Amino acid sequence: MNNITNIGDWFSWFFSAANMKDIFLYNNTEPLIFTAWFFWGFFGVVLFIYSMIHKRQGLRNAFLFLVSMFFYYKTSGLFISILLFSTLTDYFIGKAIHASALKWKKQIWVALSVTINLSVLAYFKYAYFFTDSCNALFHTDYEVFNHFAMWTNEWAGTSFKVNQILLPVGISFFTFQTISYSIDVYRGHVKPVKNILDFGFYVSFFPQLVAGPIVRAAEFIPQLYQPYRLRQYEFGLALFWILKGLTKKVIIGDYIAVNFIDRIFANPTMYTGFENLMALYGYSLQVYADFSGYTDIAIGVALLMGFTLPTNFNSPYKAKNVAEFWKRWHMSLSSWLKDYLYIPLGGNRGGSIGTWIAAVFILAFIALLAGDLLVIEIIIFASLALSVVAITVKRFREWLTTNINLLITMLLGGLWHGASWQFVIWGGLNGMGLMVYKLWRKISPYEKFNNLAVLMLKVFITFNFITFTRIWFRAENMESTWQIIDQIGNNFSPQLAGQILFSYSNVFLMMAIGFIIHWLPTRVKDWYTEAFIRLPLVVKILVSALTVFFVYQAMSSELQAFIYFQF
């Protein structure tokens, strides 16, 4: 770069083979994520071309589908084949569902879509789990074998390891999205997309592809056929979403993670119980700042191109109970689980055949997790005993049948995050929390009180319960989980709290700022959002430039991946 003295030299450098390779080929050490400078260069080029073709809907949608494919390739390499497979499969299944006149035929096609999608998801996400469980139970020595890698090596001449299965980025998100499409076509909520490129665009739209929000077909597909429109208000709002997301992710989330949280969770016994507790509170802030920061940027980027994505977070730590928390946190997944799992199982009306099938599946999953025949025998005995009590005791049976779907939904939500005891316990604790709240609200003398003191108490209890469950969500393994709990319970060292607060003063200051902003009244947040939108364009640009400057000054030397990329 130092030897470049004119435009010709610059073009020669830019279009050199090495630099073209960096631009267009996948590099697993430099994935294309929102906080990378390369992404904003990519997005700038996309916007430039988009501005010239946005009036031609067919060309516009095809272009966004192709750049979304490129985005996913730069993020996940040849795993793009899995995304294309899912897209093609559900496109043709959706057409078959709509064309079938008989209900049972439609149901077969829907079942095929669900089976194919969940099988692909299970293969990549749970192959190691099933292999290890089989080896532990039956004393075998099976090893995982990556058939996709073998086929890719044969077809494309690559040299991927066939004894290693990596998880494609975003597979859980686009799998749930395509499943919802098939079900919505079956239910008559949306007509099948006639153009494969339009459907591919819906499935792969790059802002929300790898970490959500999960977009329903009925919400997004009609937007494919609407003319592009971006008013001054929407431009200001989109810019605000992007800047807010970058600030959350980098200045708050990454800073407190790199300088405090990650150190504690890596070696919990090296730190006092007070530090472990502060790391837990910090992680609650970090995971919110990181995940909601991603979706904020996604919403803003999509809005600049004229598309509206659903809100995914609504100040979740303002929730007054666990039920309200799950209506505010990862709202696209919570509503997906409600509409496509909880209600079809029977909701709070009672158990169904699907309920008991799901219960057997979860129990089998837990038994495999245990990897011990004795544990499996205990699970079977406990299940039979519970069934006998439910049959003979009416009140218990009524309570069980009206709550079991809630527990199943949360357990499956935990397993969606990964196949481990930690996610089973995390999901189970949240399910139990919801069940206990349903009982408590019937007898609580404070349920209908909303004065400030009671409101703060409710928020405090809910936030601490959610933070407590995150021990299992964040800890490196089960051993670390119990170490954290032991440190907090037996080595709290309150006399060192002042010294610790002083030593990590910048981290705790950032945590305080993050929580204060989060707990600001909605009207205050609406006020400064509207104030930014009303700023003159020149002032908007200046504020944006200063924000970006501070964001990238605060960035650590290595880009920190978004937490939910691993799911």
Q: Using CA atoms, how far apart are residues 183 and 187, in angstroms rounded to an integer? A: 6
Written as one string, the DSSP assignment of 440-509 is: HHHH-TTTT--SHHHHHHHHHHHHHHHHHHHHHHHSSSHHHHHHHHHHHHH---GGGHHHHHHHTHHHHH
Q: Which of 309, 24, 339 is nearest to 189 (CA)?
A: 339
- Two structure tokens written together for 510: 């950032």
Q: Assess contact for 424 and 369: CB atoms under 8 A.
A: yes
Percentages of the chain per state (helix, strand, coil), in multiples of 5: 75, 0, 25
- Known catalytic membership, residue 417: yes
Report the chain's C-alpha Rg in angstroms: 25
Written as one string, the DSSP assignment of 331-365 is: HHHHHHHIIIIIHHHTGGG---HHHHHHHHHHHHH
If 0-12 CB within 10 Å is exposed, 13-18 middle and 19+ buried, where does residue 493 land?
Answer: middle
Helix (H, G, I), strand (E, B) or coil at 41: helix
If 0-12 CB within 10 Å is exposed, 13-18 middle and 19+ buried, where does residue 274 land?
Answer: buried
Helix (H, G, I), strand (E, B) or coil at 306: coil
- Two structure tokens written together for 449: 């009180």
Helices and strands (DSSP H and E) totals, the chain: 27, 0
The CB density around residue 548, as the number of other CB atoms within 10 Å, is: 15
Question: Cis omega (within 30 of 0) on the bond before 213?
Answer: yes
Pick the catalytic residue: 54, 98, 330, 417? 417
User: For 85-112, what is the HEC assignment?
Assistant: HHHHHHHHHHHHHHHCCCHHHHHHHHHH
Question: Which residue stretches of 57-170 are H helix?
Answer: 57-76, 80-99, 103-138, 147-156
H-run or E-run covering 304 = helix 273-304
Half-sphere exposure of 442 (CA within 13 A, CB side): 4
Q: Using CA atoms, how far apart are residues 307 and 220, in angstroms rounded to an integer? A: 8
Q: Assess contact for 272 and 181: CB atoms under 8 A.
A: no
The distance in angstroms from the start CA to the end CA of the chain is 39
- Two structure tokens written together for 459: 């928020």
Residues that are catalytic: 417
